[in-house]
Amino acid sequence: MPISFSQHVDLQCPECHAPFRAEVWLIVDAGERPNLAARCRDGTLHRVTCPNGHTGTLGAPLLYHDRTCQQLILAVPPGMDEQQVRAIHAQLMPRLLENFIAPFPAYLNQTQVVPQELLPIALADDPQAALAEHLQRAMPPLLRALQEFITADSQDEAKAILRAHPELLSDEADALLAQLLDAARTQNDTNAEKILAEHRDLLQRARREGIEAAFAAKSAAVSSHFFQKELLMGVTAHHDE
């Protein structure tokens, strides 16, 4: 009996309202269906396309099983509460366990529950690196541009980033830096506070005098801490909470 399990559902495209039928996978066994496991890793397993080419991702649960890695993960869609998670787990586990002979391996009693969108991260070879990359992509564009500016390796790189992101000279960017400074002070992170203050001063000068003039003035008294790589990862993380 196959371990992997799917159901067909009737859908209607939210854009063109065309009706269509899609196969929704609820259990995927990596050893049995490596092609489906690959789609779990790249986040496309529940992606569907209507007859007119509109695509979207279904909010559907998935029980992912890998016997070789002794891995059992339940990926749940947004909005599912704890009671619903327990209910779907109780529905899917008996079908999976039909393919095992008691006593069951210990890992089958240790289901990892993750949000649907984080399943590719849980399945990555280096989950921590994958999570860091995900958080970087999810970071608001202005905050991401500010982080790139502060972690620049040189003044030339910082100037290039500033030219590519003129929004760093906006009132919104200045207000964001003020918030980050407040967060650094709250955490008593004097190093982050110094770096943030220096970069805020530089951006304010660039707004008044222009980018070249601001960097020229800064070069004369550049701090040894000015382009440190230890940027506020803790501060920005605190800001995102």
Residue 231 CA to residue 147 CA, distance in Å, equals 7
Tell me the CA distances in angstroms from 89 to 64, 108, 122, one per residue in order. Answer: 11, 12, 18
What's residue 220's pLDDT? 55
79: left (phi over 0), alpha (psi -120 to 50) or beta: left
Give this prediction's pTM: 0.65
Place of tokens 């790589």: 229
Tell me the average pLDDT of the chain. Answer: 88
Q: Mind listing the pLDDT tens digit for each residue in 73-99?
A: 999 998 889 999 999 999 999 999 998
Residue 49 CA to residue 214 CA, distance in Å, equals 51
Residue 49 CA to residue 117 CA, distance in Å, equals 18
Tell me the CA distances in angstroms from 241 to 28, 78, 91, one per residue in order. Answer: 33, 18, 34
Mean pLDDT confidence for 104-131: 91
> Shortest CA distance to 113 belongs to which of 66, 68, 77?
77
Asked whether 63 and 96 are in contact (CB, 8 A), the reply is yes
Residue 145 CA to residue 158 CA, distance in Å, equals 11
CB within 8 Å of 228: residues ≥ 6 apart: 191, 195
Burial class (CB in 10 A: 0-12, 13-18, 19+), 27: buried
Amino acid in position 193: E
Which band of pLDDT confidence, cut at 50, 70 and 90, is reported for residue 230?
Answer: very low
Amino acid in position 16: C
Q: What's the chain's Rg over C-alpha atoms?
A: 25
What's residue 1's pLDDT? 80
